[in-house]
Amino acid sequence: MRLRTAIREIAFGVGALVLSSTLALAFPDRPITIIVPSSPGGSTDLMARIMGQKLTERWGQPVVISNVAGAGGSIGAARAAKAAADGYTWLMTTNSPLTTNLALYKSLDYDTERDFQAVAMIAQSPMLLVANPRLGVRTAKDLVEAAKKEPGKIAVGISGFGAGTHLAISEFSRLTDTKFTIVPYRGGPPMLAAMISGEEVLVGFSDIVPALPLVRDGKLRAIATPLLQRSAAAPEVPTIEEAGVPRIDVTSWNGIFIPKATPVEVVKLINGEVNRIFSEADVRQRIEAIGQNPVPAMSQEQFASFVRAEIPRWREIVRNAHIEIQTLPAQ
């Protein structure tokens, strides 16, 4: 009896392995959908379209980019989590929906570790600390000194409560023992417009993509970047550490995730193909042109380990910012 049971178990395991390997060999045999949990035209969307074009050239299958914005990316992430675990629906996202939002919202329709496989890391999305020239600061150290002279007097713009810009200034304030007045806006463009006018705020962190043209036009001054190294898109802008100020680790990143139960052979196949695409010189140049920093290729296991470490790290950053936990908007 035990022998028959053992034989059945071995046969089942071998059968599952053969089926999984066969699936990987046949993959892909139909269109792939990449869910981007933000609006068209942003850096994540643009990188998804660059990748989609390359995948179609290599695999001969259409790649559909589906923009599902809302709730800081949580709506798109929830949709991806419920997709079939067959490798044909991907989530390409910044870290926020799968790390920061776990600490920001009371309840989500997904859990990063339970519902997703981390597949590949794509790029870092750097921020800049920018200021209206009227503020009279040129370095991060200048800003710290000005803030300490008159605590709370300098008003800082953020693109929304819990946004990366909010977490960045919170960490900056905590690590430099400074105090600012926080002024929230509904998104990055209104925040930058207010910073240029100088009527309400004069300084703040911003994603590099919308801020850099304003810096190049002389409307804003780039003070520093919180990256460990200078951004490839703005090599003239020093890091915060170069100014003698403690580094804040709030760099956003982009990655690809798929439903948890996707066969491991398919996961590894996708990881290898994506890594090859983003190691190509023309692709790296294109993502640098939209303000993103290419990253060294990671294996699927390396990226999964990285994501597991990121979840508690961002939870602590949110906790240090004393942001009230929010209720997820109705979907």
In which band, very low, low, confident or very high, does the pLDDT at 107 lie, cut at 50, 70 and 90? Answer: confident
What's the pLDDT score for residue 300? 98
Q: Mean pLDDT over residues 112-125, rounded?
A: 97
| Edge-to-edge strand ranges of the sheet holding 181-184 | 181-184, 155-158, 203-207, 127-131, 221-224
Question: Are the beta carbons of 270 and 258 closer than 8 angstroms?
Answer: yes
What's the pLDDT score for residue 268? 97
* Residue appearing with tokens 């200034």: 169
Query: Any idea which of 95-99, 166-170, 231-235 has the lowest mean pLDDT?
Result: 231-235
Q: Mean pLDDT over residues 17-28, rounded?
A: 63
* Residue appearing with tokens 């550490």: 241
- Domains, the chain, ranges and CATH? 10-125+252-320 (3.40.190.150), 127-243 (3.40.190.10)
Q: What proportion of the chain, given as a percentage, has pLDDT over 70?
A: 91
Determine the number of helices (DSSP H) and then strands (DSSP E) in the chain: 12, 11
What is the rounded CA–CA span in Å between residue 234 and residue 220?
14
- Is the per-residue pLDDT at 72 higher than 50? yes
Q: Mean pLDDT over residues 253-281, rounded?
A: 98
Model confidence over 184-194: pLDDT tens digits?
998 899 999 99
What does the DSSP 8-state code read for residue 326? Answer: B
Q: Mean pLDDT over residues 45-70, rounded?
A: 97
> Where is 130: in which H helix or E strand?
strand 127-131
What's the pLDDT score for residue 25? 65
Paired residues of 35 in beta bridges: 66, 91
User: pTM (2 decimals)?
Assistant: 0.86
What's the pLDDT score for residue 16? 46
What's the pLDDT score for residue 106? 82
> Where is 155: in which H helix or E strand?
strand 155-158
Q: Mean pLDDT over residues 221-247, rounded?
A: 94
Q: Mean pLDDT over residues 272-293, rounded?
A: 96
In which band, very low, low, confident or very high, does the pLDDT at 34 lie, cut at 50, 70 and 90? Answer: very high
Question: Are the beta carbons of 83 and 260 closer than 8 angstroms?
Answer: no
